[in-house]
Every structure is written in structure tokens, then in C-alpha cells.
Structure 1
Amino acid sequence: MHMIQRRDFLTQLSLATAAISLPQVAFPSAPKADEFVEVAITHGRIRGMRKEGVNLFKGIPYGGRISGDRRFRRPAPLEKWTGVRDALEFGAPAIQNPRRNEPAPSEDCLFLNVWTPANDHKKRPVLFYSHGGGFVVGSGASGGQDGSNLARNFDVVVVETNHRLGLLGFLYLDDIGGPDYAGSGNMGMLDIVDGLKWVHDNIAQFGGDPANVMIWGESGGGAKTSCLYAMPSAAPYFNKASIESGPGVRMTPKETAAETTALLLKELNIDPKDWKKLLDVPAADLLAIQGKLPSVAPFLGKNTKGAVLRRAGGFGPVVDGVVLPHHPFDPTAPALSKNKPLLVGWNEDEYTFFAWERKDTEFAKLDFDGLQKRLEPQYGEDTPKLIAAYRKARPNATAPQLYIAISSIAMMGLGSVDIAEKKVKEGGAPVYLYNFGYKSEKPIPGTDYPMGTPHAMDISFKFNNEIPPRDGSAPKESFFGGNRPERFVASHHFAELWTTFARTGKPAAKDVPQWPAYNLKTRPTMRIDAQCEIIDNRFSQELAMWRSIGKL
């Protein structure tokens, strides 16, 4: 596969592949509980389970029906229930291909999960996570995201939602649907906001502080977090944010979203004036049609002249001027969140995930002539300058190493730096820039090239799920993280930095250097590993080149 810069990477893969090919960790659907726990919430009583020092509540409904005449609209009111409702099984994920060890996908998917040390009214920080998978796949029970260790080891409350995805969550009908379908292009994001409202109304019952909520997410979840950071409806319900390997600088303009809707109607042979026939199309058929439409980035790049690129196809948040008033970080950081601290960053070897997932072994055989040929389709006449800058900055690097470095920063690094710089220029709350750098020794299948720090490897690390077994048995090899015991230290650092940020607004951890806020003079970046370090002006030569060719 040719080298793909950030916007084209997202266009081709639409961030949908991001984290969808991770093996699904087998969360037991009904583990044996140490005891059961009941709690009263706004709509009735629920029963969860206590297991190894953590109370877990699965599949709590936070919104009503979104099928039938509620398709593409706001949910029906959630009805209260009598008696005690079990919250012992994960709720249905949004419509997508079936997910191993999870319930069958369903249109009615508005469920969330809560992990807490205790339902004791202690005001713990709340970590509200949006799953990856672009805007088309994933769930709040995705592999690696079990919140038990974060809750147990760092005394926080973790919440994860299911919400509408794909065309059922992001089909733009505002121009043809009338007032009942206002905001239709952002139903999936408004679902997440409803999850945040649920937290505001209920999380005190779970030992969480509704006045101290951090939104965070990886890959597509980072892009969702970028949107929430700029959405007026979300603003009252969170206090800080973290955008991880998913810098959502720009989203889909409504004009492009309208073109996508036209493409869909044409594919289904539905006249625009008869668009309501969409309400009768089975969800499975809509999913199949979704796969036939051109894949497009859920957030868009710019060309070298600064114009936002427009490509019809694909589904993600729409800059409709109301729900999402403007691009999240273009032309500036959102004034709405000026006083909310932010973490942003990426993994050092993002592309190795996609090499693994796409079975791309050819990159590992590149020489420097081959490197130029592989980059030229994306960078044209700028290719020699780009390679020269990287060879100067990294004189000992091989051609495959430079390919991974260029691909990885183009995918997730440039947008992350852009966000950090714009947040600094706003002059409000601090922003902290990071690189995750723990190196997995596992080779990419078919090559001798190590995974390093691939896209999505941060999930299990920041959730503190890289940890020796509690029963004292020998540790199993981590799927991406490998076998080295240093991974346990790196995971603890990552989790402690994030939970401290959630608690105080400033990331810190024992045995980790003090992390200065990002600024435009020294540009400090935290490199997260078994031994963390602060690096000033990291990638300065490389970033200067990206700026010179109009990519940053």
C-alpha cells in the first residue's frame, strides 16, 4: 500500500479500521459475582455486581427507542421501570457486523457501562470514554477497555457508552427532512451527549463527581472527543479532555454531507422527495449499502492552499452550524472550551498497526529508491525534500524506519501538534502534548520488523490492563505489547498520568518527570514509556519540513 498522508489515510481507511481489527478480549458475559449491588438511578433501581473490589454495572439504558419512527431522530423518552433491572450483561452495540463476545447489534443501542470502586457517594473523578472504530464500528465493551483496573488501582469511576454509528448515526437529512430531523447528521454525537447528561444526573450514586468529568477517547474516540470539545450541548457536562491518536481538527461540511445523502438515495433508487422510505429499509440493508458507498475521512484535511478538502461518501459528524457549529479546531481552538485543560498526542509507530492489519509486508523491504517511489503518489515533487529532511534528522534510520516515521506522524501527529498549538494560542487552560513510545518486540507477521508502538496499543496500557495476573500466575503475552515485563511499568505510568489529570487537571505520576504545559517556545512533549522523559522541540526538523510543504 502506498504511503498515505494523514487526510488520505483517513479517506482510505476512514478511521473505521482503527481498532476494529484488534482481537476482541473475551469479557465474560455473566461472570460470577462476589456479591450483587443495587442502586437507585433516575429511571429505577438496577442491580450490578461486585467483583474483586470493583462494582460493575453493564448495559444501563440511558436513552429510549431510536428505531422505527425514531430512526435518524432524537430518542424516544426513556421509560421508568418498576422493580430492579439487572445490569449484568453488556447492552447491544450499534448496527455493524456482529462483535465476538457481545450481544447482537441493534438499532436500539443506547446503553452504557460503569466501573466504580464503590457506590458510596465519594466524589471520585469520572473518566467518560468514547470507543474507537471511526464512526462506524465499536462499542463500550470493546477489547482492552475493561475499566476494572483503572477503578480499582486509581480510585476513579469509568463510564463507556454505546451510541449510533454509521449512516444511522450521521445521515444528514436537515435539508430535506424538516424540523423533526434537525441535527440528524450528528445523532451519534448527540447520543454521547445524552450519555454525559446521564452521568451528570446519576454518577453521584456510583461514587463519582458530576462536577469533575474527563472526556477521552482513542482513534475514532479521539475524533469524537474533539467534537464534544466544540459542541455547545456537551459543554455543561465535562471539565477536561484527552484526544488520543485521533485528532479531529475538521469534520464534514454540511454541503458534503448532503452530497453523501444524495449518493445513498441514488444507490437505493429513492427519489429525494420520497426520502422517508429510508425509514422502512431494514437496518441490515442499510449497513450493506453503507459499505458500498465511497469511503471517506470522518474528518478532513486541507490542501496546500488551505482549502478544506471535500469528498462525498462516508459517515461522521457534520459541521451543521448548530449541533457542531464549526470545525472542532479550525481555524482556532473552540472558545467554548477555552478554560478546559486538554491532553493530546499520538503513538510513535502508528502505521505498524495498519501494516499488520492490511498485511503490508512490502514496506519492510524498502531501500531508499523504493521509499521515494512509494511516497511520490502522495507527495509528488515534495517527496525528495521530505526524505532528505528525515534522513538529516535521523541519519542512522533505515528506509523502512523512515517510512514508518513519516507515515505515523502524517496520520496522527500533525493534527495533534496542530491542536496543541491552537490551544496554546487561545491563551486559556493548559494543553499537554505526549508521545506514547513503549516498544513492543513482537514482529509484524511476515516481516522481521517489530510492532514498536502501533496505533491502538495505548488502549490496554492507559486502562492499566497491562498488569501481572492478580492470582500470581505467569503473565501471558500481550497481543500487541509483547512479553517484556517493562510493559507493566509503562502501563502504570500511562494510567496514573491520565487519572491524575482527571482528578486535578494536571497530569503527574510517581517516578515520572514533571510535565510542563505545552508552549510555543520550548514545545515540551512527554514521551511515555517504562522510563518517561520530557523532550523539548521534539521532531523540530521534521515538523519544519511538514510546515514548508503546507501539511501543518
Structure 2
Amino acid sequence: MTELTPTASAVPADRLVVRTSAGLVQGGESDGALFWKGLRYAEAPVGLLRWRAPVPVEPWTGVVAATDYGPAAPQISNPAIPLGPDVVKDEDCLSLNIWRSAASTRPLPVMVWIHGGAYTFGSSRQPLFDGTAFVSTGEVVIVTVNYRIGALGFLDLSSVATEEQPFDSNLALRDVLLALEWVQQNIAAFGGDPERVTVFGESAGGGLITTLLTVPSAEGLFHQAIAESSPVSSVYDSVRSAKVAQRMLDQLGVAAGDLARLRDLPAVDIVAAGMAVYAAVPSEEPGTLAFAPVVDGELVPEHPITVLSEGRGLPVPLVIGTNKDEAALFKFMKSPLMPIDEQSITEMLTEIARENSELEMPTRDEILTAYTGLRTHAIGLGVARDVGFRMPTLWSAEGHATVAPVWLYRFDQATPMLRLVGVGATHATELPYVWGNLDTDPKDITFKLGGRKTGRAVSERLQARWRAFATTGSPQGAAGDVEWETFQPAGARSTLVIDRHDALVPDLDGELRAAWGDAVLTFS
């Protein structure tokens, strides 16, 4: 953010100039939307604040320009997640962005977006997440949040902490919590209603949201949630996080008696070491991630999948779902994150069974009954999709529906090009439709063989449902759309299939549930 020269008297009467709890900011206007970008909610997490809980931003004097995005969190470039032109990457990344319609005058419900990226990539500054189209109807205020990622955001060094060198756990989750506190304190000044806050996110962002649903200190910071393709069960215990911490220390060449060096290492070196660990962990232990939220017994008292499946999460309405072909992207990108081949899947299932020895887990053959008739590679994609995304989503929906309304979906829409290259409705393909931004990346192949007309129609319906959920508490969308019934574990288990034409399907996942059984599996 850049400080402007304040007037000699008072700040001009300008709707773009807003007083926050830390000082005055001046935004901009474009295409019928007012926006404020790069708003700091925390001090730079550097030096002694590296690997510590975020600290609220210090007040400033004058008027700070808020017309450009803040830096993205340090990361390597990933062609699958374009950050936009002229991107700056810096540890001083704890900022957020706000959009609302220029025509809106009343307090509006707020939707707070948590971006994805395997807990290691991405930013709120991605062109895909520009909120202009989302706020065009004047129904909601959009907030997008930056948080620490990779080793700087998810490495848990508490196992090696000392009195002289303290470290905190779940740094990224703490960032999001502080951002939500900032929203509660400040969003009214931007035209938002702090009593009607919906958090929504995809992939890692969805995982942070399902974890938030089990964090006691998050109560009251949001009132509804949307979790898209959440890896709900990819949250690990302190034993595994300690192993990752030691692996990182070894990779960085930092001895236990020299922890002070961790505060001074260049961020680029930490990112490089983190990427080596990021690649090694799932290769050696299929189905696991190096960096993810941790059950620390403090901020996250228990495994989220356990809490949610037992109906003990924060009792807020929830929209949750996955994409039909989640795992295809990981195969297409040759990503190590998801086990696709038979050997790695067998290793993963064996390890899950070992970690859940007290449960009556289905056998490998029983699980494979859900994939009868599929080719070998399709079986691998199906198992990876379901163990990583669909089954944890179902377990969460089953439990959370006992304490709050739940709407379950599956996103099936795929363009001709995505079907041709064999990825279909894969991981993250719903995002352009959710945001109404179908053409943000000139290198994107999605619509190269057509499908934009259908895409716009799907996007309009999907956005209408997400906005309706934020404004009314029910994702029914526009008049004439298929009615979306709540998910009832003891009833029809209705699922909305989002495609060229939406359809409500009873017990869409019946065969899958039967094959996987009733055991709710954790990944410690």
C-alpha cells in the first residue's frame, strides 16, 4: 500500500475513502464496482514474527492508497495457477481485497474467499478471483484473503521450539482467523454486514474452511460456509508434523542448536527447501501432504473429519461438494500429490488401515466393488478422487447435517476441450463458473473448442445459488432453477448435480458409500 498526501484539513468526502481500525484507505472504481486492494490486516511476518502467530497491523497516519494488490506469498511459479502480471512475491503478504457494487447503498451480506493451491501455491490476487462480476448484481460484498502458504505457512516447528526460539502452529489458519476478525471490525465501513458473513473456498481453501468449522475460537466470525473440493481429512497429527519439521531442518542444513538461523534465512531458500519436501513426502507416503493444517490440541483440538462426521462442528449452514473427475488434473499435471497407480494406491490403503486399526475398515477388494467395469487407470483415478475428496466430503455432510442445514453437490460440467484431453470436470474447473470469469487467462484451453454459451449459463446459475446462500441462507438460485433440497442422512440424501442442466439426484453416492463402509477414516 502507498501512503497518499493527506489534505491539510479533513479527508475529502469521497466514498472511496474509508476509515478502518488502523487508518484511512482510498480505493478505486471500475466497471460499476468499488474496490479496495492490498489492505493490510497484519504486520509483515518476518524476522522474529516468522513462524509466529500473525500480529494485527499497526495504525498509520494519512490516507493509504488501496488500488493495487499486495504481494503474493513466496512460492515458485506454477503454470496451473497464474498469479497475474507484474506479480511481486514477498513475506509481507498478509492483505485482503474488497469489492462491492457502486450502486449499492444498504449493508450487504459478505462473502470471504479463501484461495486454494495445495497449501503451497496461489494468491488472492489471481485474475480468476477478481470480484467485479460477482458483485455486479449488488447483492453481496466480496472479500478475498491472502495467507501464508507452503513451509512459511504450514510448517509446524512447535516440536523443536524452545523458550529462546518459540514457534506457533497452524500459521495460515491463524492468518485466516485474524482476517475474519478484521472483517468483523471493519467491513461495515465498506458496506458489508458483519452479522452475515459466508466463508467460501476451494481445495486448500476449502480444507481451511472445513478445519475452521471445528475450531472453537472461530465461533461467531462467520455464519455460513461453502467448501468446494475440500481435502477434509488431509489434516495431520503432531507426530507426522514433527517428522516434516525435522525433514525441513535437514533440507535447510539447520541444526537443533542453531534455530535462530531460521529467522534470517532468505525466503527463497525456504521456498526451495519446502518444494523439495513437498515433492518427497507424497512420493514416500502416498496420499499424504507435507504441508497442511495440524491437530495441535490447541487451535485445532481434534481431527476435523472426526468432529464433523460426529456432528460436533460449529452449527452453521454448509454447502459442500466435489467435482466429478477430481483426480484427473493431478494425473494430467504429473503431480505427486495424489496416488494414481495400483502400487501407490495399495500402499496408501495399507497405511490408512494401519492408522485406523481400531475401525472395521473395508478391504481393498470391497472398496474396488465401487469401480467395477472401469479400466485400470480409471480405477486409480476413482480411488484417488474418493479417498482424497468425495468420501471425506460425504462423511462430513452426514455428520454436519445433524446440527445444521447441509446442501451437497457434485460439479459435472466439462467443456468439449476438457473432455477431449481426458480431464473432464476435474479439480478446480468449477472456479471460472463460480467467479463469472471465463476468460481471464489467454493460455487457458478450457473453451478452445467452444462451450462459452453453455458456460455462461452454468456460471449464472451457479453464481445465483452462491449469492442466494449468502443472502437468504438457502442456495436456491433464480426462479425456475431446480430446487435444491437439503442433504438428509436418514432420508433421500439429495445431491445437486451441476452440469449443462442441473439435476437433483437421490443418494447419488449410494454404491460408493456401500463399498467404503461406515468407517470414517482419519489420516494422522
1:6-405 superposed matches below 5 A: 37-98=16-77, 99-118=83-102, 122-153=106-137, 155-178=139-162, 184-293=168-277, 295=279, 314-333=290-309, 337-358=313-334, 386=367, 388-391=369-372, 404-405=381-382
Q: Does 1:517 align with 2:486?
A: yes
Partner of 2:389: 412
8 Å Cα contact 1:230-1:334 kept in structure 2: no
Structure 1 segments unaligned to the other structure (5+ residues): 1-34, 302-308, 361-369, 470-474
| In 1, Cα distance between equivalents of 2:423 and 2:331 | 9
TM-score (norm 2): 0.83
| In 1, Cα distance between equivalents of 2:197 and 2:427 | 25
Out of 439, 453, 458, the residue aligned to residue 414 of structure 2 is: 439
Tell me the CA shift for residue 416 of structure 1.
0.9
Letter of the structure 1 residue corresponding to residue 144 of structure 2: E
Letter of the structure 1 residue corresponding to residue 485 of structure 2: P
Tell me the CA shift for residue 89 of structure 1.
1.0
Question: Structure 1 residues 124, 337: closer, same or farther in 2, change over 3 A?
Answer: farther
Question: Structure 1 residues 374, 329: closer, same or farther in 2, change over 3 A?
Answer: closer
Question: Structure 1 residues 264, 83: closer, same or farther in 2, change over 3 A?
Answer: same
8 Å Cα contact 1:169-1:185 kept in structure 2: no
Question: Structure 1 residues 103, 334: closer, same or farther in 2, change over 3 A?
Answer: farther
Question: Structure 1 residues 513, 277: closer, same or farther in 2, change over 3 A?
Answer: same
| In 1, Cα distance between equivalents of 2:165 and 2:316 | 31
| In 2, Cα distance between equivalents of 1:218 and 1:465 | 16
1:478-493 superposed matches below 5 A: 479-480=445-446, 483-484=450-451, 485-493=453-461
| In 2, Cα distance between equivalents of 1:421 and 1:292 | 37
Question: Structure 1 residues 297, 458: closer, same or farther in 2, change over 3 A?
Answer: farther
Q: Does 1:459 align with 2:435?
A: no
Moved more, 268-277 or 195-204: 268-277
8 Å Cα contact 2:395-2:520 kept in structure 1: no
8 Å Cα contact 2:84-2:126 kept in structure 1: no
Moved more, 175-184 or 212-221: 175-184
Identity value in percent: 27
Letter of the structure 2 residue corresponding to residue 130 of structure 1: I
8 Å Cα contact 1:328-1:334 kept in structure 2: no
8 Å Cα contact 1:249-1:419 kept in structure 2: no
Q: Does 1:531 align with 2:501?
A: yes
8 Å Cα contact 1:57-1:113 kept in structure 2: yes
| In 1, Cα distance between equivalents of 2:463 and 2:342 | 39
8 Å Cα contact 1:136-1:315 kept in structure 2: yes
Out of 508, 522, 542, the residue aligned to residue 476 of structure 2 is: 508
Moved more, 257-266 or 328-337: 328-337
Letter of the structure 1 residue corresponding to residue 18 of structure 2: V
8 Å Cα contact 1:124-1:156 kept in structure 2: yes
Letter of the structure 2 residue corresponding to residue 417 of structure 1: L
Letter of the structure 2 residue corresponding to residue 230 of structure 1: T
Moved more, 397-406 or 131-140: 397-406
TM-score (norm 1): 0.79
Tell me the CA shift for residue 180 of structure 1.
8.3
**Count of matched residue positions in the alignment of Structure 1 and Structure 2:** 485
SS of aligned partner of 1:60: strand
Give CA deviations for 1:400-420 in whole Å, capped at 9, x if unaligned. 666554443343211111110
Give CA deviations for 1:349-382 in whole Å, capped at 9, x if unaligned. 112322332299xxxxxxxxx9989976766996
8 Å Cα contact 1:250-1:327 kept in structure 2: no
| In 2, Cα distance between equivalents of 1:550 and 1:209 | 37
Question: Structure 1 residues 47, 331: closer, same or farther in 2, change over 3 A?
Answer: closer
8 Å Cα contact 2:32-2:103 kept in structure 1: no
Give CA deviations for 1:151-200 in whole Å, capped at 9, x if unaligned. 11352111111111122122323344357877712111111111111111
